[in-house]
Structure 1
Amino acid sequence: ESSVGGHWGREFRRTGYDGMILLGKADRPVYLFLQDDRLEIKDAGHLWGKDTFETNFILKKECGDKAQVSCIGPAAEKLVRYCGVFTDGADARTAGRCGLGTLMGSKKVKAIVVRGTQEIPVQNPESLRASMKELVPNLTGKLKGISTFGTPGIVVPCESLGDLPVRNWGQGKYTEGAQKLSGQLMKEKYLKKQFFCAGCPVGCGRVVGGTLDLALEETGGPEYETLAMLGSNLLVDDMTAVMRLNELVNRLGMDTIEAGAVVAFCMELAEKGLIGSKELGELDLKWGNARAAEGLIRMIARREGFGDLLAEGLQATAQKVGGMASEYAVQINNMALPAHDPRAYSSLALTYATSARGPCHTSAFTFWFERASTFPELGIDKVLDRFQSEGKPEIVVKIQNAVAVWENLCLCKFSILGGVQLKDVCSWLKDVAGWDFSNQDFLEIGERCINLKRKLNVGWGMSRKNDTLPLRVLTHRVDDGGCGRHLPPFNVMLADYYEKRGWNKEGIPTKETYSRLGI
């Protein structure tokens, strides 16, 4: 499960389709080309081995400049487990998490190209247009900061709150380093222009260039997550070095969060003497060495030597290395934590542990309501105390249910931070599709989605044992930084969460819960 912005989704909808399901696998590399109602399966032998930027460029030449391309890189062809699906060429918008690119690689599908010429049907265009006219100034006003600095603009505030991962989540304070990785510095020295997803007035994406050692004059800039995971988490405080790593990982088709987590893990393993020249060869994998990080990433993408094991993920590598390695692998169910620290927000600890796809900061966005935002329709009228645990399980349940609606409708979750409420979404859906839903209908739909996903995971053997946190953030107090040695009372909150969800003590939904939701 993953999502991506950019322009591919709108172009796909203009073909007249709502979705696409790929069954089976090809016997050779192929790409799909959908033009309105005509679908072709084309040979992709000439694309196999090409990076995501090259693939986009070639397919635009073959299919027309107005076509939109989603594709995988060479790491996904090698079935590195944490590869994404990339759109918008060098601007590199990415469905990065959960290995969807790896899945495409296993099917030998190099790309899906779409070109649509149809109008997207809207039941009440005048009403929708009026709603958008009212929305845009409110949205751009409340999201002015993210429009100006993008997600890199939160690097410095996150560091001050103890939210920024530093040195494989083992260190809190990183004030000078955060300044060197800030959105403000990026804007002053490297920003060429903003990137706007289809129809968006905010433009949170960054396009960078300048005196960088990059293959292109302009390329998609690193988001906050990338600056954190390939920057502060490795003790790399050179913005240009992180930009190089970002471009490399994007070209190879990997998730920057997972790639950064794996490199940080290996740096700590090397520091502790658990791996050495046998695994790393001549790589001097010390903290802050961006060139060594680049070399390790290339090893992973090629599944070369020790990189073959690292391509399987943190959990698999820790089990193979043995010893204390599992304590340095900051992951849940073989998926790395994204770059927000659950020690900084009590709600985030629950969100990470109970997210259906693995640790996910966007499946509920709960931590934003503990630092800056409100959600009046859910009873969140003021910013919550981030260290308080009482009442947080109920809050997490409510926000997860609501955000599931945003996910189902493919809405950008930054709109929530821009003040969009459920009633607005109800109105838009009625204008577009003619469907009449209330806020309560939406929340029940969201709850049903959460429980359907849980039912699937339970069927695959998951239960209470999987709803946990990595040892490092569950038991390790950070002496410096903005967390103030805080550890959330996780087990107490989890038990309360299960009760609020209507799940038993093992985290399995009860028959009554399934019945109430029509599952």
Structure 2
Amino acid sequence: MRHAQGPLLTVDLSERSAATTPIDDRLAEFVGGRGLNTSLAYDRIPFDADPLGPENRLYLSTGPMQHSTTSFTGRMAATALSPLTNGLCSSNAGGFLSRNVTGTGFAAVEIVGESDELLAIHVREVGDGGEPDVTFEPVPDLEQAEVSAVSERFAESHDLSAEHVACIGPAGENGVRFASIMTSDTRAFGRGGLGAVLGAKGVKALTFDGDHAARSAAGSRMSSSDADDADAAIDLDWPDEAAAVHRDAATSDSIMKRQGTASVTELANEVGALPSYYFSETSFEGVEGISGDRVEEKKYKKGTCSQCAFACKLPTRDEETGVETEGPEFETVMAFGSNAGVDDIVDVMRANELCDELGMDTISCGDVVSMFLESEDEFGNAELVRSIVEQIAYREGVGDKLAEGVHRAHGEFGADDWTVKGLPFSGHDGRHLNGQGLAFATANRGADHMYGEFYPYEYPLVDPDDALDPEGLDGKPPKLVEKENRNAALDSAIVCKFSRGIVSDGQLAALLDTDYEALQALGARIVERERAFNNSRGFDRDDDTLPYADEIEGFEAALSEYYAIRGWNDDGTVPDRDAGDMDRDVIGGDATADD
């Protein structure tokens, strides 16, 4: 199976040191991206680690597809123990950072320990002998700086554009549990609070630069014997499917090219799957003011990710107010629009821009703000929304409590806990889309729509022959297992999930030089390893639930069926496997892993 190339770079903040470790066997087993990160985290993060303590580790990686020039590949993965959910969490972001990380020649970067002063970490191209080129720069001038100011600083001091930078805003420094890691100013490793992990470690930014990928390309054109000797191994002889995917991305007439994911807003409202007024309703009378049409009216140019011809991003601007941002996408429209009772797309754009600048996940932030609005009977108060967003980022006033997230704060505000495993709900409400409801419950990272991504079958957004009745769960657990596995493989490749309808199962397998059954097996290994890690932290069937589980007929039976298909225990835990299957495999003599 085609996989990422290069060593693991470990950056030790406590020692101000960097070292590399060969991980060829691990790459062959887990490919890259989320799979590689999960494997490393499982082995190297202590099961009892504090998410905001020095023993937590954060992993950044790309995959084999970032060596290609085809569409849907401008993404990379980040993984750590989540301060929001207390479990292992992977997030990924688009933009242009992935090619710059690939250019350094490292398959993954591991951030360990903590710094006693605010730092920027500069990662440059791996040396011919595999030695790391890493520098540690104190950046006291960037304390509490917003994201765009960080980008401007490195453009001036290091001649690096925002596409070379991954950073946190004030929210990450202040330990907001849903802080994001931002890149390209507006692209976010959003879910799970990984920005707070960097903040706790004293890292304001990481920058990446190098042309190792170009040198690897030259190596791959050597004779086969020379290439074997040099271990160049980046196979640039991509199959015809790569060109076909790129062509189809360019010629597609998908509405997402005009409206992004906001194109689904009115459909979600029509079928009763649009969370509104802090989840008390599933449709919103003001939907027209926050619809995909309104987003399209504010879009002023095309936007895309590295190498992608699909170009579904949404640079938007409102001439009257001067607000300029990227998006909002559907989930932000839900969280800061219908769920907050706000019916003006410009107000949603303002909240979106604030979250990007301050470095916060728009879903988690919008949901906790909506919870506060409910407690104050202030739905629709857009000015209050913006004030609370800023208070959260700086942990000022009521924002200090709300920065803990819905799960930890809901009791103080007399609100229901609209989370799964501590992660606030995204849109595509499972009270109507019952299969998506089950997907929210089983997802290892919590109430996230992209983990199992079941909603397209139930709206439907797929071909009629593939559509499923949104009501009930009969026959859905096997499809959910397949979808979770496929998405784990996509996140390891790494291929964007919006390739749905363009990249077929057969094409995905061909791109990775394997077959679809092997991709399913890869995904199953990743999902199971995530589950085993979380089991070790106390997660079990009781955490695979929903606030409305009793409203979905057959929920408990479907959950048991899901576990049985995966070969797990009926309490939601992974059974002891044959010796070696799930052992913590210490690499590099790391003393923090189990002996």
The verdict on a shared fold, with TM-score over 0.5 as the criterion, is yes
* Matching of residue 425 in structure 1 with residue 508 in structure 2: yes
- Does the 8 Å CA contact 1:346/1:392 hold for their aligned counterparts? no
* Matching of residue 386 in structure 1 with residue 470 in structure 2: yes
Q: Which amino acid aligns with 1:30?
A: L
Partner residue in 2 for 1:498: 563
Per-residue deviation at 1:219?
Answer: 2.5
Counterparts in 2 of 1:114 and 1:488: CA distance versus 1, 3 Å: farther
- Does the 8 Å CA contact 2:168/2:204 hold for their aligned counterparts? yes
Partner residue in 1 for 2:581: 518
Q: Which amino acid aligns with 1:114?
A: F
Alpha-carbon displacement from aligned partner over 1:432-454 (angstroms, at most 9, x marks no partner): xxxxx221111111111111111
* Matching of residue 118 in structure 1 with residue 201 in structure 2: no
Partner residue in 2 for 1:109: 203
Counterparts in 2 of 1:248 and 1:214: CA distance versus 1, 3 Å: farther
Q: Alpha carbon RMSD of aligned pairs, Å?
A: 2.1
- Does the 8 Å CA contact 1:139/1:418 hold for their aligned counterparts? no
Per-residue deviation at 1:71?
Answer: 0.7
Counterparts in 2 of 1:212 and 1:44: CA distance versus 1, 3 Å: farther
* Equivalent residues in 2 for 1:194-233, closer than 5 Å: 194-214=302-322, 218-233=324-339
Q: Which amino acid aligns with 2:279?
A: W
Instruction: Give aligned pairs, total.
Output: 469
Counterparts in 2 of 1:199 and 1:23: CA distance versus 1, 3 Å: same
Identity across matched positions, percent: 28
- Among 402, 405, 413, the alignment partner of 1:310 is 402
Per-residue deviation at 1:265?
Answer: 0.8
Alpha-carbon displacement from aligned partner over 1:59-113 (angstroms, at most 9, x marks no partner): 1222214561111000111101000011112xx0111000010000001100111
Per-residue deviation at 1:141?
Answer: 4.7
Q: Which amino acid aligns with 2:556?
A: N
* Equivalent residues in 2 for 1:147-162, closer than 5 Å: 147-162=257-272
Structure 2 CA distance, aligned partners of 1:384 and 1:191? 33
* Equivalent residues in 2 for 1:56-135, closer than 5 Å: 56-66=151-161, 68-89=164-185, 92-119=186-213, 121=216, 123-128=234-239, 130-135=240-245
Partner residue in 1 for 2:359: 253
Structure 2 CA distance, aligned partners of 1:212 and 1:84? 29
3-state secondary structure, aligned to 1:163: coil
* Matching of residue 193 in structure 1 with residue 301 in structure 2: yes
3-state secondary structure, aligned to 2:574: coil
* Matching of residue 353 in structure 1 with residue 441 in structure 2: yes
Q: Which amino acid aligns with 2:106?
A: Y
Partner residue in 2 for 1:274: none
Per-residue deviation at 1:384?
Answer: 1.3
3-state secondary structure, aligned to 1:340: coil
- Does the 8 Å CA contact 2:458/2:469 hold for their aligned counterparts? yes
Counterparts in 2 of 1:517 and 1:408: CA distance versus 1, 3 Å: farther
Counterparts in 2 of 1:438 and 1:173: CA distance versus 1, 3 Å: closer
- Does the 8 Å CA contact 1:356/1:453 hold for their aligned counterparts? yes
- Does the 8 Å CA contact 1:349/1:490 hold for their aligned counterparts? no
Structure 2 CA distance, aligned partners of 1:105 and 1:214? 31
- Does the 8 Å CA contact 1:213/1:244 hold for their aligned counterparts? no
Structure 2 CA distance, aligned partners of 1:467 and 1:119? 42
Per-residue deviation at 1:136?
Answer: 2.6
- Does the 8 Å CA contact 2:462/2:501 hold for their aligned counterparts? no
3-state secondary structure, aligned to 2:315: strand
Partner residue in 2 for 1:456: 533
- Among 274, 291, 298, the alignment partner of 1:164 is 274
Alpha-carbon displacement from aligned partner over 1:112-169 (angstroms, at most 9, x marks no partner): 11112233546553544x3332223333455621112211111111111212111111
- Does the 8 Å CA contact 2:151/2:165 hold for their aligned counterparts? yes
Structure 2 CA distance, aligned partners of 1:212 and 1:265? 30
Structure 2 CA distance, aligned partners of 1:407 and 1:51? 29
- Among 487, 493, 498, the alignment partner of 1:409 is 493
Counterparts in 2 of 1:315 and 1:145: CA distance versus 1, 3 Å: same
3-state secondary structure, aligned to 1:164: coil
Alpha-carbon displacement from aligned partner over 1:153-199 (angstroms, at most 9, x marks no partner): 11111111212111111123324x221112222222x1111211000
Partner residue in 2 for 1:278: none
Q: What TM-score does the superposition give when structure 2 sets the normalisation length? A: 0.75
In structure 1, stretches of 5+ residues that fail to align are: 272-285, 431-436, 477-486
* Equivalent residues in 2 for 1:7-22, closer than 5 Å: 7-22=96-111
Structure 1 CA distance, aligned partners of 2:475 and 2:579? 24
Structure 1 CA distance, aligned partners of 2:382 and 2:553? 33
Q: Which amino acid aligns with 2:122?
A: F
Counterparts in 2 of 1:266 and 1:421: CA distance versus 1, 3 Å: same
- Does the 8 Å CA contact 1:143/1:202 hold for their aligned counterparts? no
Per-residue deviation at 1:206?
Answer: 0.6
Counterparts in 2 of 1:488 and 1:41: CA distance versus 1, 3 Å: farther
Partner residue in 2 for 1:43: 138
Structure 2 CA distance, aligned partners of 1:182 and 1:310? 28
Structure 1 CA distance, aligned partners of 2:575 and 2:242? 42
* Equivalent residues in 2 for 1:462-477, closer than 5 Å: 462-470=539-547, 473-474=548-549
Q: What TM-score does the superposition give when structure 1 sets the normalisation length? A: 0.86
Per-residue deviation at 1:339?
Answer: 1.6
Per-residue deviation at 1:492?
Answer: 2.3
Partner residue in 1 for 2:254: 144
Counterparts in 2 of 1:240 and 1:301: CA distance versus 1, 3 Å: same
In structure 2, stretches of 5+ residues that fail to align are: 1-89, 127-132, 218-233, 583-595
- Does the 8 Å CA contact 2:371/2:410 hold for their aligned counterparts? no
Structure 2 CA distance, aligned partners of 1:78 and 1:424? 44
Per-residue deviation at 1:421?
Answer: 2.3
Structure 2 CA distance, aligned partners of 1:353 and 1:516? 30
Structure 1 CA distance, aligned partners of 2:435 and 2:182? 31
Per-residue deviation at 1:213?
Answer: 2.9
Counterparts in 2 of 1:199 and 1:393: CA distance versus 1, 3 Å: same
Per-residue deviation at 1:248?
Answer: 0.9
3-state secondary structure, aligned to 1:305: coil
- Does the 8 Å CA contact 2:97/2:183 hold for their aligned counterparts? yes
Partner residue in 2 for 1:235: 341
* Matching of residue 439 in structure 1 with residue 516 in structure 2: yes
Structure 2 CA distance, aligned partners of 1:173 and 1:402? 31
- Does the 8 Å CA contact 2:325/2:352 hold for their aligned counterparts? no
Counterparts in 2 of 1:30 and 1:488: CA distance versus 1, 3 Å: farther
* Equivalent residues in 2 for 1:276-315, closer than 5 Å: 286-315=378-407
Alpha-carbon displacement from aligned partner over 1:294-330 (angstroms, at most 9, x marks no partner): 1111221121222211111112112445xx53x2x31
